[in-house]
Structure 1
């Protein structure tokens, strides 16, 4: 997913509706491969070589996206491609935390501000810009990955990494720093990690 996103942003395409339902998983050469789908409300932003408007920056103003994964700045109708980074970070967080709710008879991967109530992260941060949402402490992952995802879901879009930076971190060598003591916990952590890697 990070690869697809950095490629899209490189081409000036902002998806604007990243969510689990828009990720297709196929098996290629015996390995899972994720593909981002449904660019129906995608937007082409100005590239570095295009003339900028008088303000000096190019923003999108039309509200777009799915409430559960939308970035806080979208509620202001004033956002850039970093809104995709927020949505992607929430998807990573949801994959790791694995909250599954049954909605209309179907299992859905969910993500909320505190994972206890049903307050959407972006909406909460829009109303509380100093608040912070991070990967749950019970999730066992490399510290570099934790820091990356936490940075992706910051309220301030300028504090988030670019799609290329996300891709580079996820594809850099990352030795396991620590493992839980109990064998069952180790196995659980490994399953989480492998399923996570499969769709990044």
Structure 2
């Protein structure tokens, strides 16, 4: 596994890593208030302070280029929802096929990893098509790249997987063989804290 696709086995952050991550998250939160109108950083940080494992997952999102940010507050569950908000599909999560079954089905030129296993190891979930569309309502992402999204089981059973991007002023949903992988396709994740 290369360094760019590796996921740390350590699920605790050092004090320095924690402080650095919280500063990056706070700075991004304050610079992008359009993503989370009417939310307060102090309340978000209180949730993060109480959830070390979720903070570790956010660190993994950050480390792989996702630039996670708060996009919503689920009042009924009192959870803040983070999505990867990097302009393009996260660099540290590209050139991966959809899932382990797809990876194992390749006879030649296998990618080093797959989106589902990477997301699971990071403690996050791939965005759904609906989540991807709601992210695009905040601002436009993936103008040059594309991102795998959760694929319905009937499509996956037939060998396919879905991905999305933003072109010509619209969100497009496409299909590909789940075993395919491209340097410009990664995945975006979500995390509830």
- TM value normalised by structure 2: 0.28
Q: Which has the higher strand share?
A: 2
Larger Rg: 1
- TM value normalised by structure 1: 0.28
